[in-house]
Amino acid sequence: MASFVVEGGQSLYGAIRPQGNKNAALPAIAASLLGSSPTILKNIPRILDVVTMLEILESLGAEVTWEGQNVVCIDPRSVRSGTIDQALAQKIRASLLLAGPLLARFGRVRLPPPGGDVIGRRRMDTHFLAFESLGADVSLNSGFEIECRTLKGADIFLDEPSVTATENAIMAAVLSEGESWIRNAASEPHVQDLCLMLISMGALIEGVGSNQLRISGVRELHGTTFTIGMDHIETGSFIGLAGVTGSEILIKDAPVEHMKSTFLAFRRLGVDIEINGSDIRVFGGSEKNVINDAFGSLPKIDDGPWPAFPADLTSIALVAATQCNGTVLVHEKMFESRMFFTDKLVAMGAQIILCDPHRAVVVGPSRLRPANLESPDIRAGMALLIAALGADGVSRIQNIGQIERGYERIGERLRDLGAKIERLD
């Protein structure tokens, strides 16, 4: 099992560019199955989750060719089955995204329960309700089987604005007969990317970026060439990194238009952020004072559906708060197990009170001690890596495959900023 040996307590300096959006790449790969000709995806992050998703497509019969470090060509014409391999499906939660395109293409899909991060209960009911609204029959056993001879357009109200359920509903609806409405839809940047990609394939979608989508079904989609947008979650991780390590970091070609709630949260922690076009300069070395609410009330950083602060950045914000002067409540509303990694930060010297599975009070600043750590999931793993870089001394992080599922060549890229990280296989 690979690990990182990290010597912390060093200020970092330099420029870094975020990767393509992981959460946009995975549905884009799934959507390529809807085309009648090959699709070329550019700015694809070459991370473990993407590699696994492509392996699943190859197991279905698709031809996958890397045409560069971050460019992949997918030819779906040889896919003949809607049955997904169980071992591969359980490696990655995004395997669930194949249900929509395979149902639309073959009228039937068999999928084992998906894998993914253990960050709390992650419902699949919203997916099934969307498929049933389009006329499909859903059978649940050890996995699930969905069948429908002809998908019919429908007015779909999602019982929660689930990102993956919205994406599955979109991919099924674009080849349905007639018009569909998807209401209470998720509208995150990666959902917008999926819509724009499908439009470039010939889909008819209105309302992109809103929580109500109008889709007019078409008979066929063609392949396309599409560039994945930059990852706003990785960008936010680099902002947190600068704050924790007291560093000046320039984040180039960032998705600034998708970062407003992220800027608001980190500025509330006193992190100095400067925007120049698509570049973000973070001055983490300045004194960071938590900004209280009116009348001195305790401030709160909480997540929510887009465009609120992203749930995937709550772990990063919590670590950043340990190095700021003041007290802040971090409220993770969406997943009840994401906060459990805080015990590792407490062992490093952080002053954190875990109130319940969703809320933690952070009092800073705390001098962090090195520790032997294990990465529990992608985002908590990155948060612990940031904490190790801010600690005085040498830490070791096990199970870094979890981090590398979501962050491309992260050790190498951070070393370019001056971080002392050694990867041991």
Q: Beta strands of 204-325 (E only): which ranges? A: 204-206, 212-216, 225-227, 248-251, 272-276, 279-283, 300-302
Q: For this structure, is 117 an active site residue?
A: yes
Bridge pairing between strands 225-227 and 39-42: parallel
Overall residue count recorded for the chain in this entry: 425
- Asked if residue 348 lies in contact with residue 274, where contact means CB atoms within 8 angstroms, the answer is no
Q: Which of 136, 131, 138, 121 is nearest to 166 (CA)?
A: 131
Distance between CA atoms of 180 and 174, rounded to whole angstroms? 8
Considering 75, 117, 231, 377, which one is annotated as catalytic?
A: 117
For 233, residues 6+ apart whose C-beta sits below 8 A from its C-beta are 21, 22, 23, 310, 312, 313, 379
Give me the helices (H) in 153-309, please.
163-173, 189-200, 232-245, 260-268
Structure tokens at 407: 């962050």
For 411, residues 6+ apart whose C-beta sits below 8 A from its C-beta are 4, 421, 422, 423
Structure tokens at 162: 């689930």
What residues act catalytically?
117
